[in-house]
Structure 1
Amino acid sequence: MRVGAIASSVSALRFPIRHRLFLSSNHSHLAGSLPLRRARCPSGRRTMSEQFSSPFSSSSAPIASLGRPVDGDIEAKKPPQQHPWLIVGLGNPGKRYSGTRHNVGFEFVDTIAEAEGISMSSVSFKALFGKGFIGNVPVMLAKPQTFMNASGESVGPIASYYKIPLKQVLVVFDDLDLPFAKLRLLPKGGHGGHNGMRSVINHLKGSRDFPRLRIGIGRPPGKMDPVNFVMRPFNKQEREELDYTFQQGLAAMRILLLEGFDKSATFVNSNKSLEQLS
């Protein structure tokens, strides 16, 4: 009788403790948001955590929001905050410059915004500005409205205010020294005589250690002044080639943010133009 009484008492004590692990109906909406621990009890049976683990959780940390550790573990720590990427397209504002060679940076950012559903309607830091995601990576898109030669007046303050590491500031611009519609992704470098890039470097405290995507616009024909050439629009064939290049660049951006710089650079720098494929 004494052993039976003790067993009965233990059973009576254990049931309320086990029952408290269930969420009440008033809080059942929280179940999908709680990262649950996938552990097995010594008997090999599935634990409560395994039965109610959320498909949206990428963590195996114990339930921290219940205010106590699970299975003796320390409460889960918050993941480190992820810095956004800043993707800047260089160009000149206004209808006069729209669609010209000097504005391919603007057009490329527009391509990203349209493909990823990011609104560029707000104005901030002297730029048309948008925030969104590529995959699960936060991004900021910017088109400085300062005119090309003063682009850094926009880029520098954005990077500083949001504390964006320079390795995550990607600047996109036109390049006379690359064949038309050719892309080149580099981890760092100088301005190469490009006044927009010169301004960006100056406003990033002289640092050149940020990635850049160069879009080739070709050399001016004959003895045409390069200043006049970069202000020319594209003909129909050039526009088709450039649209293809933008799609290649968009794929490269997704690789860059989701898989890393090296894979993206390999993809970009080994890609063939539409003309080469035809």
Structure 2
Amino acid sequence: MMRGKLWVRLAPFLSKRYVSSSSSPSCSAIQPWLFIGLGNPGEKYQSTRHNVGFDMIDAFAESQNISLTKNHFKALFGEGMVDGIPVLLAKPQTYINLSGESAGALAAYYKLPLHRVVVAYDDTDLPCGVLRLQPKGGYGRHNGLKSVIYHFRKNREFGRLRVGIGRPPGQMDPKAFVLQKFNKTGRERQGFDRGSKSGERGSEVQASGIT
């Protein structure tokens, strides 16, 4: 299922970026990758569209046996080594619109250049279940991503894992739509439910402008 395939999808992206950013002979250590998933804490928000960033971090952690039990800079946090690459996983607990408070502090603490950061978040501009990797961009209508950019000193040069949730139907309020739990069809198309047949097929991943 997609939880087990997520690293396979991300590894080529990481490898290319690693080679291009650490090929200098003076580089004595591999810098970690920081993956941040955006979402809201608490049972009330579990399985909602706005929390797919959290779902992606959970999927990554599960597939690589990384525990997310540490509280670190207002985030649930875990770290591990994957194929020789150090990775840091974080789920900010600030509520989604203040995610940058945690993201900015983590990047600063680990002294990471922003090209070593990937932020996963829900995107209504992509069809449900489509994942798209991009090396930079704006924040669109996503206030959580807006907060991250602000706390990165308005620097937008960090990776994004856009998780498609589709558009709200009819005249439905977009805010209500993203805070709504997935219906059965939506969850199957996303492939987040463990053991589901659709999840075993995984989701489409598109890389845009990543070298």
| CA RMSD, Structure 1 to Structure 2 (Å) | 2.1
Select which of 158, 161, 165 maps to 1:210.
Answer: 158
Which residue is 1:265 aligned to? Answer: 207
Distance 1:208 1:222, change over 3 A: same
Select which of 169, 174, 177 maps to 1:226.
Answer: 174
CA separation in 2, counterparts of 1:146 and 1:133?
A: 26
Distance 1:245 1:86, change over 3 A: farther
CA separation in 1, counterparts of 2:200 and 2:74?
A: 28
Does residue 91 (structure 1) correspond to residue 32 (structure 2)? The answer is no
Distance 1:130 1:247, change over 3 A: farther
Decide which structure has the larger Cα Rg and report it.
Answer: 1
Residue 237 of structure 1 deviates from its aligned partner by 2.3
Higher strand share: 2
Which residue is 1:123 aligned to? Answer: 71
Which residue is 2:56 aligned to? Answer: 108
Q: Report if the CA contact (8 A) 1:181-1:245 is conserved.
A: no
Q: Report if the CA contact (8 A) 1:91-1:103 is conserved.
A: yes
Identity of aligned residues (%): 53
Q: Unaligned 5+ residue runs, structure 2?
A: 1-24, 192-198
CA separation in 2, counterparts of 1:246 and 1:234?
A: 19
Residue 103 of structure 1 deviates from its aligned partner by 0.1
Aligned AA (1:227): K
TM normalised by structure 2 equals 0.79
Does residue 242 (structure 1) correspond to residue 190 (structure 2)? The answer is yes
1:52-108 residue CA offsets vs partner (Å, 9 max, x unmatched): xxxxxxxxxxxxxxxxxxxxxxxxx99611110000000000011010000000001
Superposed counterparts of 1:123-162, under 5 Å: 123-162=71-110
Structure 1 SS opposite 2:60 = helix
Distance 1:223 1:248, change over 3 A: closer
Aligned residues: 178
CA separation in 2, counterparts of 1:130 and 1:191?
A: 26
Aligned AA (1:95): E
CA separation in 1, counterparts of 2:201 and 2:117?
A: 19
Select which of 122, 131, 136 maps to 1:183.
Answer: 131
CA separation in 1, counterparts of 2:27 and 2:132?
A: 34
Select which of 171, 190, 194 maps to 2:142.
Answer: 194
Distance 1:131 1:170, change over 3 A: same
Structure 2 SS opposite 1:151 = helix
**Relative contact order higher in (CA < 8 Å, ≥ 6 apart):** 2
Residue 246 of structure 1 deviates from its aligned partner by 9.6
1:244-271 residue CA offsets vs partner (Å, 9 max, x unmatched): 399447xx7xxxxxxxxxxx727x9xxx
Residue 147 of structure 1 deviates from its aligned partner by 0.3
TM normalised by structure 1 equals 0.61
1:204-228 residue CA offsets vs partner (Å, 9 max, x unmatched): 0100011101011111111110010
Structure 2 SS opposite 1:201 = helix
